[in-house]
Structure 1
């Protein structure tokens, strides 16, 4: 039997529920009423401490959802701190996320590392119970079992990017490693299934383990704490449910750039694009313009940090795969100096340690010397090439997929060829201010919401 469950139950108002109007998604201007629960009403007012207290008092796992800017990351940080007080001890409260950028946002570790999934891990067995048992029986999983036994609360960020298969195996690993005598473990999953999903797998909610953990309930955050412009907020909410409404078209018109206006920013402002090939093309154009097609002299350019091969360095400075910075100088030996804005230096780190060259209140400058880097040889399975290179790639542009969980100060959006549900929604809410949002292409029919996720989102019983 496949490990998926499709259940489109109608919403059941919870006790003391209050109606909230949300976009319907069936026609351009339609709205529908959902019944917000007591905890949801507190969250809409930003009463995060009271929300944490009520979630704790339930003594049950919970799924927390909501649109962009609704406060999911804020609540996660508050809940993490609250749970650390309630469940003291090393390793009792753990935050996991699917990517380095989301880890940096919430201060956790990747679920791949925590649960012992090797690079490009895919289950060998279709049954998650058997797959977990097989993994736990290996010697490699002995230290992983020890840390899983300690966990009393597990917080998952960006759960829309967790595949159903991985969630099921995580559930089984945690359950089997702990044993019947271990205290219960609470799960708190944060995310929006109307954004982009995992690359190869169905989203997490069809997993048979989902209803065991969360039932058919959700805490739906309906506040707006990121975008201050109500027109912008309305457009983002409509795009989230797959509707190209007048509000969306007005946003596109207000942010449209072409001709001379685009020429003035095309080499200066970060681009988000649907296809990797167009990202490479944009980055190549910017690099060629800077260097004249030759190896460049020292220059200032936007780069995107790759996975840092020194785990101590990345953990100490908070730099992760996907960190974005600028090359601002070179050392006499040619080592690039990368400056990361909006990056606060972790407490206890001094200049000169871990390659830290300089730091301010909201930025750091880090030495990035060449490091050994391995790459698979696709033409020869099982073989790897090893080379030495600087640990970053050109970053004037990136794919919309890679931007999920990022907040950027300004961006040019290339939306005409978006091809997946949630892609337009993900792109337009990366920037908090529409004055810093530039749209160079757009096709109304490419605004799509996943129909199963949309139906499920309407059917949650609100907490």
Structure 2
């Protein structure tokens, strides 16, 4: 489903599970919807399953919003206690729409408790007391954490999920990664279909060299992160600059913001320190995850000036993180939005897009850690894999099965809404706004046209494939093309295979590659027999059929020849 169709469905007031792979645009669609609700004067409660996720979207945790706090059960006494909390009752009653982000990390029992609280406060038997409820996230990412002796339940295993009858909007566009080989790897992980080719691909990433950028290391444990950052800062010469966080407002909420903020309470920097921006500031030219190095400190106000990986110099001024309600700020913290970036945990990286990362998965211990880490970067050129264990690329089989169902549900929702004309869809949206007591405006009308950014992105992909094709036609070998383009050999192979899929390759285009192979005619006859026997969809069966006598590059070339035809 494309973003504009998902946005149209959200505007009808249906309960929606908004999902998709990392980089599909879930947060973008959510922000577009929140802006639309605010333009229509429809009150929306923006929450998330964790404090870190809540700071990303400028909301509070669902635990704080609903008043359940750290409870793992909800007794009649607990519910009565929550009903006496004036602020909780007011915000639940005032809201018309409830958003819960990063739903993968919310235990199903907690979702049931939120449902119970909303029904009780709002005095209505519908799911979540009649609130339009939007759940956002990807269940292939980090799972909920269970208490000692307990087994965590996914949100879709809750009673509330069934009673709310969520429509699934499964976004299928890709706005972060353009590297088709990386996308293929991530897709294989999602299907629990990782094979030798993918491990070979990751082994190639152990020898990646970076130019003009120092990558962030992703570890699975806090201890490794703290040790790495402290040691690297200590190695730098010169004095330190210290920036302390300020906080004001409700003490409990301030403490929650401090705990969740990716910037520390006391930020200690030196010149040449590797840093990461922890907040989006498009006007200043950085986003959450932008890497840079401290060049200097402003002589007038002392704030750090950083050089980003693309050579831009930015003075990073203090920024604020807030918890608000009904347009009022309840709590606020202010800090320079940076953190040391030689290392960060996989858990804290969820929701970020990194320019470059060194990924250490040798101690991966739970489903989803490898998937989250590998999906933080935009391309294989920005990824170095330090190591991985047997758990690193695993995903919960339960999620694989459920994901297929989510895709089917999304296709059905797309079909049903696609059969409506624009006038009917607009009427549904107007009725929803009216039922919420909001104000419809001309600027809030339904939008059905796909975004122009898809066309721009498609052109950009076609351009990069065309460059590889031109170099191929000049007779360059795969290693030579990879060196010329500063890409991995696997990426170049993916370009060539995509050109074949698009019927943009002819046999003569491969002459340069064949020239680099010894006794190719004999080799190809053997490979052709193997493809006839094993099929050409996967390389590994052919590799094994031939007793591992031929390398994957030769088999890839043979497959190209085989598919083009003689």
TM-score interval for Structure 1 and Structure 2 normalised by the shorter chain = 0.5 to 0.7
CA distance in 1, matches of 2:337, 2:170: 39
CA distance in 1, matches of 2:145, 2:231: 28
Distance of aligned partners of 1:359 and 1:417 in 2 relative to their CA distance in 1, 3 Å threshold: closer
Q: What's the CA shift for 1:280? A: 3.3
- Matched with 2:364 is 418
What do the CA deviations read for 1:49-95 (whole angstroms, capped 9, x no partner)? x43223333x4211111111112111111221223334x15xx2121
Q: Paired residues, what number?
A: 358
**Which of 362, 374, 391 is the equivalent residue of 1:428?**
374
User: With structure 1 as the length reference, what TM-score do the two structures score?
Assistant: 0.66
- Matched with 2:72 is 123
Contact 1:157 1:191 in 2 (8 A): yes
Q: What's the CA shift for 1:181? A: 10
Confirm whether residue 82 of structure 1 aligns to residue 19 of structure 2.
no
List alignment gaps of at least 5 residues for structure 1: 1-39, 331-337, 348-354, 369-389
Contact 1:339 1:363 in 2 (8 A): no
**Which of 278, 281, 303 is the equivalent residue of 1:344?**
281
Contact 1:165 1:207 in 2 (8 A): yes
- Matched with 1:397 is 343
Point out the structure with the larger helix share: 2
CA distance in 2, matches of 1:172, 1:358: 48
User: With structure 2 as the length reference, what TM-score do the two structures score?
Assistant: 0.55
List alignment gaps of at least 5 residues for structure 2: 147-151, 285-300, 307-312, 321-335, 414-566
Confirm whether residue 323 of structure 1 aligns to residue 277 of structure 2.
no
**Which of 90, 98, 101 is the equivalent residue of 1:146?**
90
CA distance in 2, matches of 1:356, 1:153: 43
* RMSD after superposition: 4.2
Confirm whether residue 249 of structure 1 aligns to residue 199 of structure 2.
yes
Q: Secondary structure, in 3 states, of the residue corresponding to 2:134?
A: strand
**Which of 15, 18, 36 is the equivalent residue of 1:64?**
18
CA distance in 2, matches of 1:131, 1:408: 46
- Matched with 2:419 is none
Point out the structure with the larger strand share: 1
- Matched with 2:180 is 230
Q: What's the CA shift for 1:250? A: 4.7
What do the CA deviations read for 1:314-360 (whole angstroms, capped 9, x no partner)? 99xx9983435975579xxxxxxx9947642899xxxxxxx996899
- Equivalent runs, 1:187-336 vs 2, <5 Å: 187-200=133-146, 201-214=152-165, 217-245=167-195, 248-257=198-207, 268-290=214-236, 297-298=239-240, 309-310=247-248, 321-324=260-263, 327=268
Whose radius of gyration is greater, 1 or 2? 2
Contact 2:15 2:133 in 1 (8 A): yes
- Matched with 1:366 is 318
Distance of aligned partners of 1:224 and 1:395 in 2 relative to their CA distance in 1, 3 Å threshold: closer
Distance of aligned partners of 1:145 and 1:55 in 2 relative to their CA distance in 1, 3 Å threshold: same
- Greater relative CO (CA pairs within 8 A, separation 6+): 1
Contact 2:185 2:198 in 1 (8 A): yes
CA distance in 1, matches of 2:6, 2:276: 37
Contact 2:346 2:373 in 1 (8 A): yes
